[in-house]
Amino acid sequence: MKRTIDFCQKNLALVLLVTAGAIFSATTANFFTLTNILNILNQNAYTIIAMCGVALIMIGGDLDMSVGYHMSICGVLCAMMLTRTAIPVPVVVALTVLLSVAAATLTTFLTELLAIPRIFVTIGEATLFQGCAYVITNSKTISNLPAAFKNIAQGALGHPSLTYATLIMAVFVAAMSFTLSHTYFGRHVFSMGGNLTAARLAGINTRRMKYIIGILVGFFLGVAAVILIGRTGAAAANTAAGVEINILTGILLGGVSIRGGEGKISNCVAGILLVALISNGMQLAGWNPYYQYIAKGVIMLCALGFDMFQMRRRSVMNNQRKEEIVKTAAREG
C-alpha cells in the first residue's frame, strides 16, 4: 500500500492522465482512437518542446514568464523572413533559432547584471516582446508561408496524423530526459535548484551553468516557435500568448517544485498532455469551450497546492530526522 501511495505521489500527472483518459474513453465517442491521440500529440508538440526549456529553468531554481511573447516575436520574425526575403527555408529556421538563443542569453545577462531573479526580468521582457511584435507586424497576421516551411510541422510519416512535429518533440523529450538523468550537467542543474549557494561551494560554476541553461532554453523556444507557425501556417503578435500558463501548469503537475531542485521530464510531458486531454475531451463531449479555462485554472491551483503540501511534508520529515539524530546523539553522549 505504501509503495502505491509513494508511486502516486511521485507520478501524480501520469496517474491523473491515465484516469482522465479512462473516463473520457468510457463517456465520449471517438476519444480513444489512434487518430485522436496522435492529433493531441501533434497539437501540443510545440508546447512540449517549449516545456523542455522551461522545466530546465525551473529545476535549476528559476522561472521564465516571457515564454509566450518570446515565441510570438520569434514566429513573427521567422514569418517575415519567409515572406519578404529570398532566404532559403533551412537558413530562416536556423536564424530564427539563433535569434531566440540570443534573446534568452540576453535575459541571462540582465539577470546576472541586475542580480535579481529571472522571473522579474522576464516579466518586463514579456511586455517588451509584446510591444515589439505588434509594432513589427502593425497588428496584422503574416500568412502565405511557403509549403516547404509548413511541411516541417505538417508533414507526416506513415500515418497521416503522425507528423514530423510529433517526431521532433519525441526526440527532444528523450534527449532532455537522458541529459537530466544520466549526465553531470543534469546533476548540476538539480544541485543549483536545490541550493544555489551549496552548489557554488561544491565547485559548480553556477554562472556558466546559467548561461548554458539560457542558451538551451532559447534553442527550445526557437524550435517551438518554428513548429507553431509551421502548423498554423501564419504568425501574429499574439500567436503564442498565454502558452506559458499551460506549460507551468503541466510542469507543476509533473512534480517540478516551484522552488526547483526536483522533477522529471516524462512527468512534465504527462502534465502537459493531461491539460490537453481534458480540453480535447471537453470539446468532443460538446462542452462550452469557456469551461476549459475554468478547468485549467482549477488544475493549476491544485498543482500549486499539491506542491506546497509536498514541500511542507518534506520539511516536517526533515525536522523529524534532525530531532531523531539529536536525541540519538544525546543518548550516546
For every residue of 245-300, DSSP letters joined together read HHHHHHHHHTT--TT-S---HHHHHHHHHHHHHHHHHHHHTT--THHHHHHHHHHH
Q: How far is Cα 89 from Cα 84, in angstroms, rounded to an integer? A: 12
Exposed/middle/buried for residue 4 (C-beta within 10 Å: 0-12, 13-18, 19+): exposed
Cα pseudo-dihedral 275, 280, 281, 283, rounded to 10: 130
Mean pLDDT taken over the chain: 87
**How distant is the alpha carbon of residue 14 from its chain centre?**
16
Asked if 89 contacts 202 with a C-beta cutoff of 8 angstroms, the reply is no
Confidence band of 209 (pLDDT split at 50, 70, 90): very high
What average pLDDT score do residues 297-313 get? 73
What average pLDDT score do residues 144-155 get? 92
Domain 38-309 matching CATH 1.10.3470: the answer reads: yes
Res 23 pLDDT > 80: yes
Res 330 pLDDT > 80: no
What average pLDDT score do residues 73-98 get? 95
Q: So what's the pLDDT on residue 22?
A: 86
Res 328 pLDDT > 70: no
What are the backbone dihedrals phi and psi of residue 140, each rounded to the nearest 5 degrees, phi first? -115, 155
Q: So what's the pLDDT on residue 321?
A: 67
Confidence band of 194 (pLDDT split at 50, 70, 90): confident
Share of the chain above pLDDT 90, in %: 52
Res 175 pLDDT > 90: yes
Asked if 254 contacts 306 with a C-beta cutoff of 8 angstroms, the reply is no
Asked if 218 contacts 212 with a C-beta cutoff of 8 angstroms, the reply is no
Predicted model pTM: 0.89
| pLDDT tens track for 241-282 | 889 988 988 898 888 887 888 888 988 999 899 888 888 877
Share of the chain above pLDDT 70, in %: 90
Res 333 pLDDT > 60: no
Domain spans, the chain? 38-309
Confidence band of 173 (pLDDT split at 50, 70, 90): very high
Q: Which of 223, 191, 225, 220 is CA-nearest to residue 205?
A: 191
Q: How far is Cα 324 from Cα 310, in angstroms, rounded to an integer? A: 21
What are the backbone dihedrals phi and psi of residue 163, each rounded to the nearest 5 degrees, phi first? -85, 165
Q: How far is Cα 163 from Cα 158, in angstroms, rounded to an integer? A: 9
Amino acid type, 48? I
**How distant is the alpha carbon of residue 274 from its chain centre?**
13
Q: So what's the pLDDT on residue 6?
A: 66
Q: How far is Cα 240 from Cα 244, in angstroms, rounded to an integer? A: 8
Per-residue cell: 139: 497588428
Name which residue leads in pLDDT, 10 or 146.
146
Res 52 pLDDT > 90: yes
Helices 45-59 + 265-284 axis angle, to 10 = 140
Res 110 pLDDT > 90: yes
Cα angle, residue 95 at apex, residues 175 and 220 outer, rounded to 5°: 25
Write down the H helix ranges in the chain: 2-10, 12-27, 34-43, 45-59, 67-84, 89-114, 118-137, 147-154, 164-182, 184-194, 196-201, 206-232, 243-253, 265-284, 290-332
Provide the 8-state DSSP code for 161.
T
Q: How far is Cα 67 from Cα 129, in angstroms, rounded to an integer? A: 10
Cβ atoms within 10 Å, residue 166: 24
